[in-house]
């Protein structure tokens, strides 16, 4: 039995759900990765119709435990490099989606599971969530960009402490260090996700797409380069998006006379 990846589309949001066999944690293998490849192609094809993507698990105890036992049993020095490169390609593709991608972590996110979560734009975590970049416990290194993304989220020194020890850390520590953006009681997670998605849906999809690209470029560009990037993106907001309509609506609202006080 393997983990299945299912998708649902509702109210302009695509939800990717990891569904493990009963009593087992969600894990990743070649079949799941092929399914993710197909799902990402579908999202890319309909991105203009979507506001956001949510990645989560059907398991109450695990978000994702990384590679499954069948992969670990067959991996060797010949097969490891293609496995690593496939994981990089898919998580890079997930990260590059032109709309917000949210990971909802309600249990353990370990190894490749944490790498999957960090490929999302933001991570919202239940207080029951536990995180770990634990590959060193099995004698491996991060394989799907975990080293790169963890350093960008927490800095080099904290990343070293986490991967050298391979220890688990809780949701409060994850938010404190920048691994996650929010944590709270399990019952508050759905409310926070709903509030965030409502805010996203109320904003311009083109502007959000452009801002995602701008923010991704910031660590590697100068302030002078940023001026050109923002100028070009601003033009696209006016030509491809609804910036002109939103601006006119805002100006009409500001120039409208105040309502007369009622007696």
The count of domains in the chain is 2
Half-sphere exposure of 1 (CA within 13 A, CB side): 8
Residue 214 to residues 21, 168, 247, Cα–Cα distance (Å) = 40, 33, 21
Task: Give SS3 for 124.
Answer: strand
Residue 260 within a domain: no
pLDDT at position 260: 77
- In sequence order, which residues have a C-beta less than 8 Å from that of residue 11 and are 6 or more positions away? 201
Statement to judge: residues 147 and 86 lie in one domain: yes
Domain CATH for 129: 3.90.226.10
Statement to judge: residues 129 and 161 lie in one domain: yes
pLDDT at position 74: 83
Statement to judge: residues 92 and 211 lie in one domain: no
Residue 125 within a domain: yes
Residue 114 within a domain: yes
Tell me if the pTM is above 0.85: yes
Q: Indicate the DSSP class of residue 76.
A: -
Taking the C-alpha atoms of residue 24 and residue 234, their distance in angstroms, rounded to an integer, is 48
Residue 261 within a domain: no
- For 4-28, b/e burial (b = at least 16 CB within 10 A) is ebeeeeeeebbbbebebeeebbbbb
Instruction: Give the model confidence (pLDDT) of 96-118 as tens digits.
Output: 999 999 999 999 999 999 999 99
Q: What parts of the chain have a pLDDT lower than 70? A: 1, 263
Statement to judge: residues 188 and 211 lie in one domain: no
Torsions phi, psi for 70 (to 5 deg): -65, -40
Statement to judge: residues 80 and 102 lie in one domain: yes
Torsion of CA 180, 186, 189, 191, to 10 degrees: -160
Statement to judge: residues 195 and 224 lie in one domain: no
Statement to judge: residues 231 and 120 lie in one domain: no
Statement to judge: residues 133 and 250 lie in one domain: no
Statement to judge: residues 128 and 233 lie in one domain: no
pLDDT at position 1: 67
Task: Give SS3 for 132.
Answer: strand
Answer with the one of 163, 182, 201 that is the final residue of a domain: 201
Statement to judge: residues 170 and 105 lie in one domain: yes
Answer with the one of 175, 201, 227 that is the final residue of a domain: 201
Statement to judge: residues 18 and 115 lie in one domain: yes
Q: The domain containing residue 239 runs over which residues?
A: 205-254
pLDDT at position 2: 85
Instruction: Give the model confidence (pLDDT) of 16-43 as tens digits.
Output: 999 999 889 999 999 999 999 999 999 9
The conformational region for residue 132 under phi > 0 = left, psi -120 to 50 = alpha, else beta, is beta
- For 168-207, b/e burial (b = at least 16 CB within 10 A) is ebebebbbebebbbbbbeeeebeebbeebbeebeeeebbb
Statement to judge: residues 175 and 216 lie in one domain: no
H or E element that contains 116: helix 112-118
């Amino acid at each position: 039995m393997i983990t299945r990846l299912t998708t649902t589309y509702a109210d302009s949001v695509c939800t990717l759900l990891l569904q493990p066999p009963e009593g087992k944690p969600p894990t990743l293998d070649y079949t799941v990765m092929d399914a993710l490849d197909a799902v990402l192609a579908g999202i890319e094809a309909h991105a203009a119709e979507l506001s956001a993507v949510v990645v989560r698990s059907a398991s109450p105890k695990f978000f994702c435990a990384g590679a499954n036992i069948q992969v670990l049993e067959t991996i060797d020095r010949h097969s490891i490099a293609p496995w690593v490169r496939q994981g990089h390609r898919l998580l890079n593709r997930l990260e590059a989606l032109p709309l917000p991608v949210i990971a909802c972590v309600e249990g353990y996110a370990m190894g490749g599971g944490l790498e999957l979560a960090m490929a999302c734009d933001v991570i919202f975590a239940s207080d029951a969530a536990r995180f770990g970049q634990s590959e060193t416990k099995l004698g491996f290194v991060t394989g799907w960009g975990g080293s790169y993304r963890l350093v960008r989220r927490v800095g080099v020194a904290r990343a070293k402490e986490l991967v050298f020890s391979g220890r688990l850390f809780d949701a409060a520590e994850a938010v404190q260090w920048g691994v996650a953006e929010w944590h709270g009681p399990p019952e508050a997670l759905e409310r926070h996700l709903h509030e965030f998605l409502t805010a996203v849906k109320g904003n311009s999809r083109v502007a959000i797409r452009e801002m995602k690209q701008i923010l991704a470029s910031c660590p590697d560009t100068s302030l002078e380069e940023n001026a050109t990037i923002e100028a070009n993106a601003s033009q696209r907001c006016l030509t491809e998006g609804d910036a002109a309509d939103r601006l006119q609506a805002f100006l009409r609202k500001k120039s409208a006379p105040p309502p007369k006080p009622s007696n």
